[in-house]
Chain A
Amino acid sequence: NAGVTQTPKFQVLKTGQSMTLQCAQDMNHEYMSWYRQDPGMGLRLIHYSVGAGITDQGEVPNGYNVSRSTTEDFPLRLLSAAPSQTSVYFCASSPRIVYEQYFGPGTRLTVT
């Protein structure tokens, strides 16, 4: 199993550009989520999904969109990047019964 994979590992965007951060898992996990990590603030939940076709907002959803058309994939879309979205982004997944999360390696995003 590859576990949770994220692409790209690094990305630089200009203000106003759009992009999609990819996340995939091959463990047939029902739950998937996106976090951003900023210095001194821990991990904050952006969006999450409890199954294909079902998504919900987390703590900091503004400026981000998600969809979950398959169990495996959970992309995060930035519609119009802003410098405040400069951060490290983590995708995570977990099965229904076991409650710990499995994290991807993260994407470092810089918006100039």
Chain B
Amino acid sequence: AQTVTQSQPEMSVQEAETVTLSCTYDTSESDYYLFWYKQPPSRQMILVIRQEAYKQQNATENRFSVNFQKAAKSFSLKISDSQLGDAAMYFCAYRSAGTSGTYKYIFGTGTRLKVLA
């Protein structure tokens, strides 16, 4: 069975600095998708970025980028120029590409990011 591990329960970053959140996963599948979701205090889950496993190029979305290491099964999120609005819980998630017939998402336990002014 697939698992997703976020080993950092909490991280802090100074405003305008860069922070990296870690995520590792375990799977025997070769085709899958990885996601980072943000959950601010409002509780709303918001997609930050996604990565297709078949793509070698790391995904980027403005100040957010990932370091996807398929062989190491690592999927870290880098936030550049951190802003106060980035303060939230961040979840890493895995989804099979469907070749095994499953639709299930697997979420990590989350990393709470604090942004210091």
Residues of A within 8 A of B (CB): 31, 33, 35, 40-45, 48, 50, 56, 58-59, 88, 90, 92, 99-101, 103, 105-106
Chain B residue contacts of A31, Cβ below 8 A? 103
A50, B47: Cβ atoms under 8 Å? no
B interface residues, how many (CB within 8 angstroms): 20
Which positions 2-35 of chain B face chain A at CB distance < 8 Å? 4, 9, 33, 35
B61 CB → nearest A CB, Å: 12
Q: Is the CB of B103 within 8 A of A50?
A: yes
Given contacts A45-B104, A100-B35, A100-B47, 11 further A-B contacts (CB under 8 A): A42-B4, A42-B109, A42-B110, A43-B107, A45-B105, A99-B33, A99-B95, A101-B45, A103-B45, A103-B46, A105-B44
Known contacts A33-B105, A99-B33, A99-B50: A42-B91 contact under CB 8 Å = yes
Which residue of A is nearest B102, CB measured? A56
Does B104 lie within 8 Å of A106, measured CB to CB? no
Query: Which B residues are CB-close (under 8 A) to A92?
Result: 45
> Residues of B contacting A35 with CB < 8 Å?
107
* A41 contact from B4, B44, B109, Cβ within 8 A: B109
18 A-B Cβ contacts within 8 A? Answer: A31-B103, A42-B4, A42-B107, A42-B109, A43-B107, A45-B104, A59-B104, A88-B43, A90-B45, A99-B33, A99-B95, A99-B97, A100-B47, A101-B47, A101-B105, A103-B46, A105-B44, A106-B44
A98 nearest in chain B by CB position? B50
Q: Bound complex: CA of A100 vs CA of B47, how far in Å?
A: 7
Which residues of chain A come closer than 8 Å to B97, judged between CB atoms? 99
Chain B residue at minimum C-beta to C-beta distance from A106: B43
B91 contacts A43, C-beta separation under 8 Å: yes
CA distance A73 to B50 in the complex (A): 26
Q: Are A105 and B105 in contact (CB under 8 A)?
A: no
What is the CB-to-nearest-CB distance from B7 to chain A, in angstroms, rounded to a whole number? Answer: 13
- Check B108 against A48 for contact (C-beta < 8 Å): no
